[in-house]
Chains A and B, each alone.
Chain A
Amino acid sequence: MAEKSTQRYPQNNNLNEKLIASIDNGIIILNDELKILYFNKWLELHTSIKEGDIIGETIDSVFTNINARTLQRKVKTALRMGTPTFYTASVTKYLIPIKIDQINISNFKHMRQDVSVIPFDLKQQYVALIISDQTNMTNIHNQLTFNIKKINELNLELLKERKTIDQRVILTKIDTRHHITDISLAYLELLDMKKGDMLKSNYFDTQRLRISQELKEKIFDYMQRKEVLKYEEISLSSTGKEICLLNTLVPEYDKSANHIGFIIFGENITSAKLVQEHQTKLLENSRTAAMGEMISMIAHQWRQPLSVINTVVATLKIKKALNILNDEIIDESYIKIENTITYLSETIDDFRNFFKHNKELKTFTIAHLLQKSTQLLKAEIEVLNIDYEEDIDINIEITSYQNELIQTIINILKNSIDAFKEINTENQKISIKAYEEIAHIIIEIEDNAGGIPQEILSKVFEPYFSTKSKNGTGLGLYVCKTIIQEHLKGRITMKSKNDHTLTLIELPKILQNSVAV
């Protein structure tokens, strides 16, 4: 049995030759004058140049792209140091031009190469250039660089966006224990507070947050169930200002879908809320004022029927004294008094109805509307000797909130009556016209009570604007406008020319889904 050799394989040029031929790298041996002494199989295959054709040639005459000076320097340095010098694919791209035909790496025309210049034989001053294909690596590297650039750009955009969000959006983040973990600049500005003061504090801090116990419990409930909730909060700023927010509570989850807290987006409705409150107050005021006005109207209204009763009663007394009272007279008087009393109680009912909050839409004729509106004003109109005229189609119907419309028309007529009291004219006249226009009803109320100067006309709908020093609140027309526009979805305008004032009301024939105040 032959002994197995455990000795190092002896120096064998055949083996080296074989290995070098099958290696997946390019190998060139050069002398210190850059003359080619060896050109391996790999290079022959990739360049289609035969070794035999270029032995003894300088490498830069075979591959004219090579900068001889640089290569010379690297060769010299490697030989001098006794350690390799290099070309790197990332910087130099390639040394030996080898065309790439593969499609998947079509980004490059030539193979990217790392080249080591190895001091191969110091005695003879030979170097070996070891060329390795780095195309794939370079490709990946380039893609990576491109993607990193892209990521950075996106990141920058995101940061910018974050900044705008921070500045614009009212936002609070809280953890599961309701401690504030983040709060936007926009909200801090409203609260006039610093981030440091707010972070880690409890969101439900009663110093700042004014919400009812009931609402708080509701919020807790939704938090428990991790559901979205919309609610209104009032926060107190550091300067004591009330800030009204319409909040949306949204549960927040981290990347692995663990529940980590809540985000509360806020919409500042402070000013809207103020306007709303203001308006409600104004309407209330106007109602009280209107009630006072109505009482005086009722007084007017009752004077006549009461005097009827007085007369009847007085007649009865006289007749009884004269002893000429018979059953017939008594029955007659009785019926008269009864009728009058019915009339009186009807007025009171009207009055009461008017102040009842009637939120139901009703269909009624314009004739009926005007009859109801003028009923209480009739007495005064007669006393002042004002000619009242209606020019309407008695069949026109409207679906709307009746009481509000009555209030509006009374306000307008009352203004006309007030104006007549200020001047002395003959032919005092109030005329009302009403007509249909496709989906709308138009009501025109006109008087000849002197008109309104142009500079005043532009202000009559403003709240508290009045020319009636003591007697006017200046709310009448403001309330009219609010009712017509906000509640009845219509339009009201006033025009004045010569001595005439014309009020135009345009209303939808059928009002839908609107809730009156």
Chain B
Amino acid sequence: MIEINLSEDEKDVLQELMNVAYGNATAIVADMLDAFASLSIPNIKIMNIRELLNTFHSLKGDSYFFSTQAFVGEFSGECAFFIDNESANNLAIHLELDGEEDLNDAILELTNILTSTLTTRLAKEMNTQVQFALPSISKIPLNEMGSNNAFKQYSQVIVIDTQLNFHDQKINGEIFILTKDGSIKWLKNQLNDILKTII
């Protein structure tokens, strides 16, 4: 598997696009939560799958909610949202949810909002469209993450570290955009097109 790396310039452009997309997401999340919410400026990293699995290893805490949503189009892959137990509880309190079912549903919704807005926006900036599949959720113990074969088909991961703040409650989450080689190549091309128009 050939690793395709993004140059510094390309990363910069991607970060810019993400910032724009993120603004959009914030507003919608605020609507959903019926509260003033702010999303911290995302911290973007690009890593390969091995590094990703190492990240899972270094994460502390035992219980995480993990939801994924596939998207198809010229730019295709899977978005994953990772939220710890405490943050999930905060979300439940805020939305006055009772029961695991409602909480799972809310997490899925949050996942859907974050991944859809981000990916749709990203796609739009790059003159393409994506379509989303139904998200799915699982509560996976961290130590089993590495053996999750689902990851192995992807080559590169765009990791977006984010923090949702509302009132005095914090919701920490991490968004991963998992892509295959083809899509990374496509992304690289699009980013370069944008770079050309800037210069």
> Which residues from chain B contact A114 at a C-beta distance below 8 Å?
134
> Which residues from chain B contact A83 at a C-beta distance below 8 Å?
116-117, 120, 132
A66-93 interface mask toward B, CB cutoff 8 Å, 1 = contact, 0 = none? 0100100110110011111111101111
Question: Contact at B28–A86, with CB atoms within 8 Å?
Answer: no
Q: Is B16 an interface residue (CB 8 A)?
A: no
- Of chain B, the residue at the smallest CB distance from A91 is B104
B19-53 interface mask toward A, CB cutoff 8 Å, 1 = contact, 0 = none? 00000000110011000000000000000000000
CA of A97 to CA of B185, assembled, Å: 46
Interface members, chain B 98-152 (any A CB < 8 Å): 101-102, 104-105, 108-109, 112-113, 116-117, 120, 132, 134-137
- Of chain A, the residue at the smallest CB distance from B96 is A69
- Of chain A, the residue at the smallest CB distance from B117 is A81
- Of chain A, the residue at the smallest CB distance from B120 is A83
Q: Is A400 an interface residue (CB 8 A)?
A: no
Question: Contact at A87–B116, with CB atoms within 8 Å?
Answer: no
Question: Contact at A80–B28, with CB atoms within 8 Å?
Answer: yes
Q: A73-B109, A80-B31 are in contact. Are A88 and B136 (CB under 8 A)?
A: yes
- Of chain A, the residue at the smallest CB distance from B111 is A86
Query: How many chain A residues have a CB neighbour from B under 8 Å?
Result: 21
Q: How far is the CB of B136 from chain A (nearest CB, A)?
A: 6
CA of A83 to CA of B79, assembled, Å: 15
Question: Contact at A116–B134, with CB atoms within 8 Å?
Answer: yes
> Which residues from chain B contact A70 at a C-beta distance below 8 Å?
102, 105
Q: How far is the CB of A113 from chain B (nearest CB, A)?
A: 11
Q: A86-B135, A88-B136 are in contact. Are A77 and B113 (CB under 8 A)?
A: yes
CA of A86 to CA of B27, assembled, Å: 19
User: How big is chain B's contact interface, by range?
Assistant: 20 to 34
Q: A70-B105, A92-B101 are in contact. Are A84 and B32 (CB under 8 A)?
A: no
Q: How far is the CB of B53 from chain A (nearest CB, A)?
A: 22
CA of A77 to CA of B34, assembled, Å: 11
- Of chain B, the residue at the smallest CB distance from A92 is B105
A91-114 interface mask toward B, CB cutoff 8 Å, 1 = contact, 0 = none? 111000000000000000000001
> Which residues from chain B contact A82 at a C-beta distance below 8 Å?
120
CA of A86 to CA of B102, assembled, Å: 13
CA of A406 to CA of B132, assembled, Å: 100
Question: Contact at B105–A84, with CB atoms within 8 Å?
Answer: no
CA of A2 to CA of B85, assembled, Å: 67
Question: Contact at A74–B137, with CB atoms within 8 Å?
Answer: no
CA of A310 to CA of B134, assembled, Å: 124
Q: How far is the CB of A189 from chain B (nearest CB, A)?
A: 31
CA of A33 to CA of B102, assembled, Å: 21
Question: Contact at A81–B113, with CB atoms within 8 Å?
Answer: yes
Q: A73-B32, A76-B31 are in contact. Are A90 and B116 (CB under 8 A)?
A: no
CA of A91 to CA of B112, assembled, Å: 14
- Of chain B, the residue at the smallest CB distance from A73 is B32
> Which residues from chain B contact A88 at a C-beta distance below 8 Å?
105, 108, 134-137
CA of A93 to CA of B101, assembled, Å: 9
Q: A70-B105, A91-B104, A114-B134 are in contact. Are A85 and B112 (CB under 8 A)?
A: yes
Q: How far is the CB of A151 from chain B (nearest CB, A)?
A: 14
Question: Contact at A77–B135, with CB atoms within 8 Å?
Answer: no
Question: Contact at A81–B116, with CB atoms within 8 Å?
Answer: yes
CA of A73 to CA of B132, assembled, Å: 19
Question: Contact at B137–A91, with CB atoms within 8 Å?
Answer: yes
Besides the known contacts A76-B32, A93-B101, 10 further A-B residue pairs in the complex with CB atoms under 8 A apart: A70-B102, A77-B113, A81-B113, A81-B117, A83-B120, A86-B108, A87-B105, A88-B105, A91-B101, A91-B108
Q: What are the 3 A-B residue pairs with the smallest beta carbon separation, nearest first?
A: A83-B116, A91-B104, A91-B105
Some 17 contacts from A to B, beta carbons below 8 A apart, are A67-B102, A70-B102, A70-B105, A76-B32, A77-B28, A77-B32, A81-B113, A81-B117, A81-B120, A83-B120, A84-B132, A88-B105, A88-B135, A88-B136, A88-B137, A90-B136, A91-B105
